[in-house]
Structure 1
């Protein structure tokens, strides 16, 4: 595997202390990408910009940015105007606050990165990691990457600083904004007890390696079969019956019975750990 390449370099600003760091992605995507082909000759199709008024192709040098303010009404914005108000290109992760991690709803997190100390910054890096671990806090910071300003959370994990880019508050939808929330329904004691037993029967330690991208594997198998010239029979998807009303308790009990047969429980009433054991424990902050 090729050595990881830093996608950003700068420094963590911590009071009057600056800690030079490099930013590396913690996640690599395994998305399968397809190209659009012409069904008659298998040629790869090209996308072109066409003006709907005269039907002619428009080249990039003849395009401008526009913001729609009404039906077919646009405000033109020049590139230099955007550049004039762009965030300052300071290569600094500026820490604003330290907060408890449990006080942050996971929905605010977006992408995960590792922060690695640059040369001669190991001691300062270790200092902030240790201080945050002992305080039980994570840092909320701002930084600019590739012309975009980000809100971020810095958290210590096993002696390493991780940076999670975050959504701003105005980007997050609250349950109160949904038409069907909050849910108003009455549940019976028997239903609740059966549901609690089902949760207990499926409870175990989190082992990331147990959960595979099954759909991706099926797509790869399909590609392999088609590449060998095999005929593939498409089966219609099986639609699951919806559960509600008087069926709920019966469905819960059937699920509980099935879970007990598949997953023998230990003396504590929870499912026994998988063969590979529990996932590597991460230090809590």
Structure 2
């Protein structure tokens, strides 16, 4: 079932404009969420802002955003200061730049949203923008205010719609060279390379969302259901013997690869992509 739109506004490319809606492409509705209770009373615990010196509760009107210049040295920013740096329009996705598809590294991707026309009047303009990007093999780059925060966004043609990805800013992405330089760039043994390639070939199959199921959530729900029925006490599921991690350490990489290839799969070879 489609969820209610998270955002309503306009998609604009030069003089072409259409009304659109944004809906989250992912959901956390199935996750187990916890509340913090007072164990003695069973009542929920509320969080409040407390002054670190007086230890008194601070009213909403007295709370202010501040930037730390140093220890116990802050610059307070008023609402008008924050408003002055916001986009002129918080309701328009104005595409002012395009880049070739697949040139934005995945590490910049944050959260995806479905973009669709908000009404029949805007469908033609929406379709023209989407098809033009698809045929030109480009994605659009723009800015948008979501959750009171200005975000860089990427618009990607996808099927009959558009996927909008919020993007991390450049200073939020670490330089990979700082980490890769720690990895020795040595030539690999051709025989071992061939053996690993054989292992990969045997395990290559078609993608399925079953590969990314969350077993922890399922087990938590089982425990919650069991605790909700005191008459039926259920013991936590114990891992099967063959699921337990082996305590033996294989030091020889070649021996480990040979051992991996010796074991023949019990089932038929999975379908390849």
TM superposition score category, shorter chain reference: 0.7 to 0.9
Could you tell me how far apart the structure 2 residues matched to 1:256 and 1:100 are? 41
Matched-pair contact (CA < 8 Å) for 1:115–1:160? yes
Q: Secondary structure at the match of 1:69?
A: strand
Offset, 1:85: 2.6
Could you tell me how far apart the structure 2 residues matched to 1:8 and 1:94 are? 15
In structure 2, runs of 5+ residues without a counterpart are: none
Matched, 1:19 2:44: no
Q: Find the counterpart in structure 2 of residue 106 from structure 1.
A: 106
Aligned pairs (5 A) from 1:64-143: 64-119=64-119, 120-143=121-144
Could you tell me how far apart the structure 2 residues matched to 1:188 and 1:217 are? 42
Aligned pairs (5 A) from 1:167-186: 167-178=168-179, 181-184=181-184, 186=186
Matched-pair contact (CA < 8 Å) for 1:226–1:232? no
Matched-pair contact (CA < 8 Å) for 1:7–1:25? yes
Quote the RMSD (CA, aligned, Å): 2.7
Offset, 1:262: 4.5
Are residues 65 and 231 of structure 1, via their aligned partners in 2, closer, same or farther at CA, if it must alter by over 3 Å?
same
Could you tell me how far apart the structure 2 residues matched to 1:206 and 1:124 are? 34
Aligned pairs (5 A) from 1:244-263: 246-258=251-263, 260-262=264-266
Query: How many residues are matched?
Result: 265
Matched-pair contact (CA < 8 Å) for 1:12–1:20? yes
Offset, 1:83: 2.1
Offset, 1:143: 2.2
Q: Secondary structure at the match of 1:121?
A: helix
* TM-score after normalising by structure 1: 0.81
Offset, 1:207: 1.8
Q: Secondary structure at the match of 1:153?
A: strand
1:4-48 Cα distance to aligned partner (Å, 9 max, x none): 222222222212211221112111113221011222232222222
* TM-score after normalising by structure 2: 0.84
